[in-house]
A and B are shown apart, each in its own frame.
Chain A
């Protein structure tokens, strides 16, 4: 195999991986604040993409995306207030069932609001056919957008959680809800806020991947599965780890494609996930144990 080809595989891995990574980040926000895995995260992506696509003909693209991010964030708030806020100390299983139910609800509702047609946002720069040469191999400029947006999201989120009062309160709420409440933190509003943030970020991710993957009412599930894989693989709670894991899975899949028939791609990535869950359940890059007993998730 020539160097050109090796590089093309690597870039194709980065292409797929960047999409996984940006999805994976969304899982982390809700998890960081509440210890809940929100299985409706994929639907937030779909909603963001759909709303932006509907607004794109009447608004300039950046405005349409901003409006979609805000609107999806409000849907996140609504979902949390209506379905989740009244639960006191929900069991993990119950939360899983509720969020899966929510994902089905949002999916079917979107089927009625929009329809079954496949849509896509225009490419942020260039068009379907433009590509950028990287040392003899080629890649779509949209991938650079996705990677850039992921980087900004991760950096922003890390700074927010570490240095702002609200961010610190969210972390406190996640590590011990009762203690946080005793310190005077209003934990219920924080959880609502975390859903806003996760939905909004999911929407932004949904807009970023839309030109590549196209947007359809039922796209959420398959994206969420891969995004969740990466979030777990990296170590739940850390967005940097999710991005690293996303790129790793993408590149490993590309490597598997280069030597095995394509059909084995998912076997390779899910096999790695299983191995990680057996031997390093806290995730590849996590410093503290995320799945420790006594904490939901």
Chain B
């Protein structure tokens, strides 16, 4: 009888331990969640993001953590799927009770999460680009990449300098592609550019000669491709193969050298707006971002043996903003941290200098972009 009770008691202990894993010394850590597309079609974005966070959290913990507490990072792989992103968000918020969530990687996912975070008063710092994530402003939702509208205007300005006025655009059928399409269509008239044709393609397709034939038929002087998928490498290849020789512009989604490598020779001369991370070495020493960019680039490339990309930078900025806000608030109270983010001014990150306000949850200006090009298989400042 005594034995049965003992076994029963042990069973109860095991059950209790598995049901309440949070009992152990939990108050000493700060939990931060991240929902990133570590695999799937947007993996070229999500993987550098998760690697960057892993590196930053390790560095921060070595240096004593945040407010004297260790940081615990929980990364969930959404594979770029909005449904998965939502269920992970609920899990992180309700079960793990994280302080804030960094991500998701893609615009489509971020838009799906926007409402949930705002209604439940949880902090979300998105690493995705679409303008609609912070416009209109949701009180609890922020984002670190530059605005689509800045990218569109940068592209139009470069076109004007080259004497281009009639263009065609192809965009992917994702949240990012649709966001770009909206900005291109909205801003083209006021910039004196005629957008002769806009076509939306399936992001997973392997060949785009059909749609490019249609664009070519419109006698355009340049083509804009707006996506974050491997299509960014295939579209330039297809254009060369079909003898469609006009300048190619891509969005800030092109900021990973792998896309240029995959397009090989066809990538030469592609123009795209981008943050300064990829050309950190070419910046003057006096530039406010220079030190941070060089250090991040060096640490990342030494540790992961791959070129740094702007996407990892977006996660870098998200973590930077969150930790600065926690320090400023001096607490891990969600309301105080959120207010602190809104009050951050002149914070140098990888994408630019962040100055938030209640009306601006991105905090960047057009100045955060440079026009880059591909030269001999590497990224370089355009026109220099």
Task: Name A's B-contacting residues (CB within 8 A).
Answer: 1, 5, 8-9, 11-13, 15-16, 19, 111, 115-120, 127-131, 133, 137-140, 209, 212-214, 216, 218-219, 222-223, 253-254, 257-258, 261-263, 265-266
* 6 closest residue pairs by CB, A with B: A213-B206, A116-B43, A12-B209, A140-B241, A138-B243, A129-B240
List of B residues within 8 angstroms of A129 by Cβ: 237, 240-241, 264-266
Distance A127 CA – B217 CA, assembled complex (angstroms) = 25
B265 touches A213 (CB 8 A): no
- Known interface pairs A137-B242, A139-B242, A213-B206. Does A118 touch B233 (Cβ–Cβ under 8 Å)? yes
Identity of the chain B residue whose Cβ is nearest the Cβ of A127 in the assembled complex: B265
A263 touches B210 (CB 8 A): no
Most buried by B among A8, A19, A258: A8
Distance A116 CA – B173 CA, assembled complex (angstroms) = 21
C-beta contact mask, B237-266 vs A, less than 8 Å → 1, else 0?
A: 110111100000000000000100011111
List of B residues within 8 angstroms of A131 by Cβ: 240-243
List of A residues within 8 angstroms of B238 by Cβ: 140
Can you name 21 A-B pairs with beta carbons within 8 Å?
A11-B242, A15-B209, A16-B209, A19-B207, A116-B38, A118-B233, A119-B262, A128-B240, A128-B241, A129-B264, A130-B240, A131-B241, A137-B242, A214-B206, A222-B204, A254-B210, A257-B211, A261-B199, A262-B211, A262-B214, A263-B200
- Known interface pairs A128-B266, A131-B242. Does A19 touch B206 (Cβ–Cβ under 8 Å)? yes
Return A86 CB to nearest CB of chain B, in Å. 32
B210 partner, pick from A16, A115, A133, A222, beta carbons under 8 A: A16
A15 touches B207 (CB 8 A): yes
B210 touches A9 (CB 8 A): yes
List of B residues within 8 angstroms of A138 by Cβ: 241-243
Q: Is B40 part of the contact surface with A, judged by Cβ < 8 Å? A: yes
B207 touches A118 (CB 8 A): no
Tell me the chain B residues, 253-304 only, with Cβ under 8 Å from chain A: 258, 262-266
Tell me the chain B residues, 189-216 only, with Cβ under 8 Å from chain A: 199-202, 204-207, 209-214, 216
Distance A184 CA – B77 CA, assembled complex (angstroms) = 53
Q: Is B349 part of the contact surface with A, judged by Cβ < 8 Å? A: no
Distance A118 CA – B199 CA, assembled complex (angstroms) = 24
- Known interface pairs A8-B242, A128-B266. Does A118 touch B44 (Cβ–Cβ under 8 Å)? yes
Distance A64 CA – B47 CA, assembled complex (angstroms) = 29
Distance A223 CA – B204 CA, assembled complex (angstroms) = 10
List of B residues within 8 angstroms of A116 by Cβ: 38-40, 43-44, 47
List of B residues within 8 angstroms of A222 by Cβ: 204-206
C-beta contact mask, B60-103 vs A, less than 8 Å → 1, else 0?
A: 00000000000000000000000000000000000000000000
Q: Is B234 part of the contact surface with A, judged by Cβ < 8 Å? A: yes
List of B residues within 8 angstroms of A253 by Cβ: 210
List of A residues within 8 angstroms of B207 by Cβ: 12, 15-16, 19, 212-213
B237 partner, pick from A128, A139, A216, beta carbons under 8 A: A128
- Known interface pairs A16-B207, A116-B47, A129-B241. Does A257 touch B214 (Cβ–Cβ under 8 Å)? yes
Q: Is B230 part of the contact surface with A, judged by Cβ < 8 Å? A: yes
List of A residues within 8 angstroms of B212 by Cβ: 12
List of A residues within 8 angstroms of B204 by Cβ: 222
Identity of the chain B residue whose Cβ is nearest the Cβ of A140 in the assembled complex: B241
Distance A174 CA – B200 CA, assembled complex (angstroms) = 44
A5 partner, pick from B41, B205, B213, B233, beta carbons under 8 A: B213
A258 touches B214 (CB 8 A): yes
Return B246 CB to nearest CB of chain A, in Å. 14
Return A11 CB to nearest CB of chain B, in Å. 7
Distance A253 CA – B209 CA, assembled complex (angstroms) = 11
Return A22 CB to nearest CB of chain B, in Å. 12
List of A residues within 8 angstroms of B236 by Cβ: 128
| Contacts beyond the supplied A19-B207, A118-B233, A262-B200: 4 A-B pairs with Cβ under 8 Å | A116-B43, A116-B44, A139-B241, A258-B214
Distance A19 CA – B210 CA, assembled complex (angstroms) = 14
List of B residues within 8 angstroms of A266 by Cβ: 202
Return B223 CB to nearest CB of chain A, in Å. 14
Distance A5 CA – B242 CA, assembled complex (angstroms) = 11
Identity of the chain A residue whose Cβ is nearest the Cβ of B229 in the assembled complex: A118
Distance A218 CA – B149 CA, assembled complex (angstroms) = 32
Identity of the chain A residue whose Cβ is nearest the Cβ of B42 in the assembled complex: A116
Most buried by A among B200, B214, B234: B214
List of B residues within 8 angstroms of A133 by Cβ: 243
Return B264 CB to nearest CB of chain A, in Å. 4
B230 partner, pick from A115, A137, A216, beta carbons under 8 A: A216
Return A135 CB to nearest CB of chain B, in Å. 13
Identity of the chain A residue whose Cβ is nearest the Cβ of B242 in the assembled complex: A138
Distance A212 CA – B265 CA, assembled complex (angstroms) = 14
A117 partner, pick from B173, B210, B258, B265, beta carbons under 8 A: B258
Return A72 CB to nearest CB of chain B, in Å. 19
A9 partner, pick from B173, B205, B213, beta carbons under 8 A: B213
Distance A9 CA – B202 CA, assembled complex (angstroms) = 18
B265 touches A128 (CB 8 A): yes
B44 touches A11 (CB 8 A): no
- Known interface pairs A116-B47, A138-B241. Does A258 touch B209 (Cβ–Cβ under 8 Å)? no
List of B residues within 8 angstroms of A262 by Cβ: 199-202, 210-211, 214
A130 touches B242 (CB 8 A): no
B230 touches A8 (CB 8 A): no
B200 touches A261 (CB 8 A): yes
B206 touches A118 (CB 8 A): no
Distance A137 CA – B213 CA, assembled complex (angstroms) = 10
Identity of the chain A residue whose Cβ is nearest the Cβ of B198 in the assembled complex: A261
B40 touches A218 (CB 8 A): yes
B217 partner, pick from A1, A117, A219, A263, beta carbons under 8 A: A1
